[in-house]
């Protein structure tokens, strides 16, 4: 028995060595989230004289112009990297006339924040008709009730010029119409606004996770958006094709929406995209975590930061999240 060879100490490798202290974990960490990586989506309602709570999104409100300015300044002071604005008009019509009206709520809000903040943040406008149409779709309808892609593009071009004039730095083309980025880019360049960038929603899926957002913008939608937003059953091949088209048409950035249910898509897009990639942690993702935290089932702050870290780990350079202001404070 004394002649048996000595066995190597077990285990030979001890990965736990690099987890032993917080300092070691920080040193070995490969992914981080900074406040400047976060973008805060904000809602502003024409009819609001003070902030109005959104029932399905605890902590999120429909702002008045004054409360929007105050909240935006606070978020930027906390280090948030950008603001994405959504407008909620008092009156809607079939073509979404309020979307390109210089005195429409979204354009007034962009102008107000540009005046208040200047270039201290990246100011973004949602370039889509759904909040402004009485039917709730992202485009103009044909006589048969379907969304008319090419007629919608003309509305998007007009919206782009209105938002650029109001002060937007980036335009979020979220309607998922074919050719939308090219038309918007052409309109901007033709008006000598080549300084304004395009954040293309590519890919954006027809997801059930948008439910609370419909309440947030007082959506008038009947039916669904399956004919223009992407099918969740399609994989990365279609997503990458959408990204390639938008980049070829002039997109400065692209965005995957939603985020957590589509981390595989986000990883594929991030690996292939020649431009920066964003991800949108949408209303349903937010609402589920808030609901579970309210019941004491999860550690809210840890889960919030972990989800943001997971989206960054999948490849997002920036994240739109309703926790942007709070997370910026926690991260600092």
Catalytically active residues, by annotation: 204, 257
- CA separation for the pair 254, 274 (Å, rounded): 10
Q: What are the φ/ψ torsions at residue 83 (nearest 5 degrees)?
A: -130, 130
DSSP state of 97: G
Q: Are 301 and 59 in contact (CB under 8 A)?
A: no
The DSSP secondary-structure symbol of 252 reads S
Give the Cα separation of 41 and 45 in Å (integer).
14
- d(CA 193, CA 65) in angstroms, rounded, equals 26
Angle formed by the axes of helices 300-313 and 324-331, nearest 10°: 90
Q: How many residues does the chain have?
A: 332
Q: C-alpha angle with apex 17: 14 to 20, nearest 5 degrees?
A: 140
Beta bridge partners of 52: 62
């Amino acid at each position: 028995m004394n002649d048996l060879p000595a066995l190597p100490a077990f285990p030979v490798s001890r990965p736990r060595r690099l987890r032993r202290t917080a300092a070691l974990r920080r040193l070995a960490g490969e992914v981080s989230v900074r406040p400047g990586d976060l973008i805060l989506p904000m809602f502003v309602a024409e009819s609001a004289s003070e902030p109005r709570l959104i029932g399905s999104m605890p902590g999120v409100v429909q702002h008045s112009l004054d409360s929007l300015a105050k909240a935006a300044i606070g978020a930027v002071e906390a280090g948030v990297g950008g603001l994405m604005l959504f407008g909620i008009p008092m009156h809607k019509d079939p073509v979404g006339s309020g979307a390109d009206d210089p005195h429409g709520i979204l354009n007034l809000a962009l102008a107000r924040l540009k005046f208040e903040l200047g270039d201290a943040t990246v100011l973004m406008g949602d370039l889509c008709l759904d909040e402004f149409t009485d039917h709730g779709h992202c485009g103009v309808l044909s006589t048969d009730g379907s969304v008319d892609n090419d007629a919608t593009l003309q509305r998007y071009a007009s919206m782009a010029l209105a938002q650029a004039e109001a002060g937007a730095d980036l335009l979020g083309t979220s309607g998922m119409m074919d050719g939308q980025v090219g038309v918007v880019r052409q309109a901007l360049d033709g008006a000598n606004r080549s300084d304004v960038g395009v954040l293309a929603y590519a890919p954006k899926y027809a997801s059930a996770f948008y439910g609370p957002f419909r309440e947030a913008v007082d959506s008038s939608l009947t039916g669904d958006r399956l004919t223009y937003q992407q099918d969740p059953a399609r994989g990365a091949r279609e997503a990458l094709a959408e990204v390639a088209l938008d980049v070829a048409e002039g997109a400065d950035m692209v965005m995957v929406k939603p985020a957590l249910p589509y981390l595989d898509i986000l990883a594929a897009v991030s690996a292939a995209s020649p431009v920066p990639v964003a991800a949108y942690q949408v209303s349903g993702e937010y609402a589920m975590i808030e609901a579970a935290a309210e019941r004491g089932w999860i550690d809210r702050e840890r889960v919030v930061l972990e989800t943001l870290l997971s989206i960054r780990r999948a490849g997002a350079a920036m994240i739109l999240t309703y926790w942007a202001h709070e997370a910026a404070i926690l991260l600092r």
